Amino acid sequence: MPDTGLTSLAAFLKDRRSRLDPAALGFAGRRRTPGLRREEVAQRANISTTWYTWLEQGRGGAPSADVLNRIAKALMLTEPEREHMYMLALGRLPEVRYTSVEGIAPRLQRVLDLFESGPAMIKTATWQIVGWNRAATLVLTDYSKLPPNERNILRFLFCDPERRKKQHDWEGLARVVVGSFRAHAIRAGAASEVGEMVEELSRVSPEFAALWRENEVIADMQGVKTIRHPILGEIQLEYSSFGVDGRSDLDMIVYNPVEQAIAERIRAMVRGDSALQAA
C-alpha cells in the first residue's frame, strides 16, 4: 500500500518545481514543460538527481530534515510551504528557526489600536516590546521614548526600581513572567538568543536568578495585576497573552480594566476627552 504522505509530497514537489522561472535562476535552454528540471532542483539543493527523482516518484522513504531544508531553499518555498512539506514527509513540523524582530506589520498595529479601553502590546520571544497601542502609552509606559533595546519586559520588572514600586504584587507577577518567558523562548526556538539576557539579569537581580533556578514553566500568561497610576490611582488590569497566528516568535498581551469606570476613563484619555478623564 503506497505511503499517502510521500505520494502527496511527490505531487507537492512537482507543482512547486513547475512554478519556478529557469531564466531567473540562471538556467538557459528550451523547455517542453514549465519550471525547472529535476536535475536543476537537485543541483540547487546539493543532493543527487537520483535521490530527488525518487522523491518526486514517491519512492526511497522519508528524507531527512537536512534534505528537506535544502529542497525548501532550492524551490524557494515560503515558511508555510516548508512546514507543509515537513508534515507530508515526516508527519511533524520543522524545528522553529528564531529570527529577530524589529517591528510589526501595519495590520497587526491596527489590531492593537482597536483596544481603546485597555493597553495592548506585541512582544517577541526575548520579551522585547515591538508594538503597542495608545492606551499602553498612557497607562503603562511611553515606549516610543525608550531606546529599542530598553523596551524589554524583564528589564522593566527586574532592573527598574521605580516601575517595581508601581506593582502591587511584584513577587507574584515576577514568578509568572519568568515561567512564561522560559516557555515562550523554547517554543519560539530562541533558547540560545536568551542566554545572554539570562546571564545579565542573573548578575544584576538576585530575585531573577533565584526564580530562573527554579525552572518553573508556565504555558499561558494570564492573571490580574494591580498598578498605581499617577492619574487613575490604583487600578486592576486583567491580562492575557495570545499567540500571533503564523508567528511563533510573537505574542500579544492585552490588559483589560476590571472596573468599567476605569475602562471608560482610559478610553477618554485615548480619545483626548478631558471632561471624562477626570470623572
Residue environment code for 132-152, b if the CB has 16+ CB neighbours within 10 A, otherwise e: bbbbbbbbbbebeeeeeeebb
Whether the Cβ atoms of residue 60 and residue 49 lie closer than 8 Å to each other? no
Whether the Cβ atoms of residue 227 and residue 234 lie closer than 8 Å to each other? yes
Whether domain 106-277 has CATH 3.30.450.180: the reply is yes
> 20-34, 65-79, 133-147 — which is least confidently predicted?
20-34
Higher pLDDT, 15 or 249: 15
CATH 3.30.450.180 region(s) of the chain? Answer: 106-277
Question: Residue 118 has what pLDDT?
Answer: 93
Mean pLDDT estimate for the chain: 86
Mean pLDDT is highest, among 10-14, 93-97, 184-188, for: 10-14
Whether the Cβ atoms of residue 167 and residue 224 lie closer than 8 Å to each other? no
Would you tell me the crossing angle of helices 79-90 and 65-74 to the nearest 10 degrees? 140
Long-range contacts for 242-248 (Cβ within 8 Å, ≥24 apart)? Answer: 244/108, 244/122, 246/79, 246/80, 248/96, 248/125, 248/187, 248/188, 248/189
CATH 1.10.260.40 region(s) of the chain? Answer: 4-90
Whether the Cβ atoms of residue 5 and residue 88 lie closer than 8 Å to each other? yes
Question: Residue 135 has what pLDDT?
Answer: 95
CATH of domain 4-90: 1.10.260.40
> 7-11, 94-98, 122-126 — which is least confidently predicted?
94-98
